[in-house]
């Protein structure tokens, strides 16, 4: 089923026996169908991916009288999105809806526990889908394809559920799988459109040698300003309560509650190191200090 095209739903039984539908019934059915789609959009599309909710508004695009078969499609007025593919997003939501209808066809509503293991998400989707099934008010409902020559070919039926299953689904707490947390470095794509700002992951660097750096083009303190012949690259790390900068080349590090404070502390430490090495005879320095002094001789203009 693909709402980018047309999804057909055959309504039989007492309600559709005259090849027509009461307007009040159809309005409730359409409203609940839209609610399911809106809930899937909320729960299935990644937060960091740009999308426009108006792209998922359903429209009645066909109506066949053979057993009452309305056809629904996503709106033809597709809005472009930043950081995402609108048509692919609509296919994804169509597939999610098909998974729900396939589940309803088997009558195995317990599958919601596996499809949506996170309790809050499962309850949202289940509540909206149960509302849609309730609004059908007849067991003779099927989704499928319609051919102008062969007519309607049912693919999925919608079976009713029991009160016990509904209660079980809405009350069951599924043990979540253990979560492995890992911090990696990456590039964030920042886009702006009509005053709205969106962020999306552009690239992730999983190589262990990749580190986050802070670059000093020059180093300034209230007492001195150091012009450099080449930039100084410092590794930048953030813990729960501090930022730290470190230069292995200069054997120098500093911390601060904010990144700005860490930068000031590093500059101050650099000034102190430079002053000490500048005013100490080469023969009185340790081997490590001699290496750093040689580096500073080349580095500081």
For residue 267, give the CATH number of its domain.
3.30.160
Same domain (yes/no): 131, 51: yes
pLDDT band for 113, please (50, 70, 90 cuts): confident
CB 289 within 8 A of CB 275: no
User: Is the separation of the CB atoms in 223 and 269 below 8 Å?
Assistant: no
The residue among 114, 141, 171 that closes a domain is 171
Helix axes 23-44, 86-106, angle to 10 degrees: 110
Assess whether pLDDT exceeds 80 at residue 202. no
**Inside any domain, residue 50:** yes
Q: Are residues 289 and 143 in the same domain?
A: no
Q: What is the pLDDT of residues 75-94, one digit of tens each?
A: 999 888 777 788 999 999 99
Number of domains observed in the structure of the chain: 2
Same domain, 104 and 32: yes
Confidence of residue 177 (pLDDT cuts 50, 70, 90): low
Do 133 and 30 belong together in one domain? yes
Residue 181 lies in a domain: no
- Domain stops at, among 171, 191, 222: 171
Q: Can you tell me the mean pLDDT for 129-135?
A: 92
Range of the domain at 121: 7-171
Which of 117, 150, 171 is the endpoint of a domain? 171
Domain annotation covers residue 106: yes
Domain identity same for 155 and 271: no
Q: Is residue 24 situated within a structural domain?
A: yes
Residue 185 Cα distances to 208, 231, 256, 262, 288, angstroms: 10, 22, 21, 20, 31
Q: What is the pLDDT of residues 257-269, one digit of tens each?
A: 999 999 999 999 9
Q: What is the pLDDT of residues 234-287, one digit of tens each?
A: 999 888 788 999 999 999 999 999 999 999 999 999 999 999 999 999 899 999
The confidence score (pLDDT) of residue 176 equals 57
Same domain, 43 and 98: yes
Q: Of all residues in the chain, what percent carry a pLDDT higher than 70?
A: 96
Assess whether 72 and 136 both reside in one domain: yes
């Amino acid at each position: 089923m693909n709402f980018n095209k047309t999804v057909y739903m055959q309504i039989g039984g007492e309600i559709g026996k005259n090849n027509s539908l009461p307007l009040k019934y159809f309005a409730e059915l359409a409203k609940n169908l839209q609610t399911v789609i809106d809930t899937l959009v909320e729960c299935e599309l990644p937060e960091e991916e740009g999308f426009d909710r108006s792209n998922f508004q359903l429209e009645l695009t066909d109506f066949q009288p053979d057993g009452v078969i309305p056809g629904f499609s996503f709106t033809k007025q597709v809005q472009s999105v930043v950081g995402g593919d609108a048509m692919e997003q609509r296919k994804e939501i169509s597939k999610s809806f098909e998974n729900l209808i396939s589940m309803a066809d088997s009558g195995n509503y317990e599958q919601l526990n596996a499809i949506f293991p996170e309790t809050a998400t499962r309850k949202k989707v289940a509540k909206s889908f149960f509302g849609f099934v309730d609004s059908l008010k007849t067991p003779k409902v099927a989704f499928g394809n319609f051919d102008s020559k062969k007519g309607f070919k049912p693919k999925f039926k919608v079976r009713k559920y029991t009160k016990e299953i509904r209660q079980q689904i809405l009350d069951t707490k599924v043990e979540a799988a253990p979560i492995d947390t890992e911090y990696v470095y990456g590039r964030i794509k920042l886009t702006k459109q009509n005053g709205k700002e969106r962020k999306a992951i552009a690239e992730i660097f999983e190589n262990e040698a990749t580190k986050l750096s802070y670059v000093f083009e020059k180093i300034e303190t209230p007492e001195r300003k150091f012009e450099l012949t080449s930039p100084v690259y410092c590794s930048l790390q953030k813990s729960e309560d501090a930022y730290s900068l470190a230069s292995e080349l200069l054997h120098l590090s500093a911390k601060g509650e904010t990144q700005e404070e860490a930068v000031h502390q590093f500059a101050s430490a650099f000034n102190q190191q430079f002053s000490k090495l500048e005013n100490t005879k080469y023969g009185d320095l340790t081997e490590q200090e001699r290496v750093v002094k040689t580096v500073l001789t080349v580095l500081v203009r």
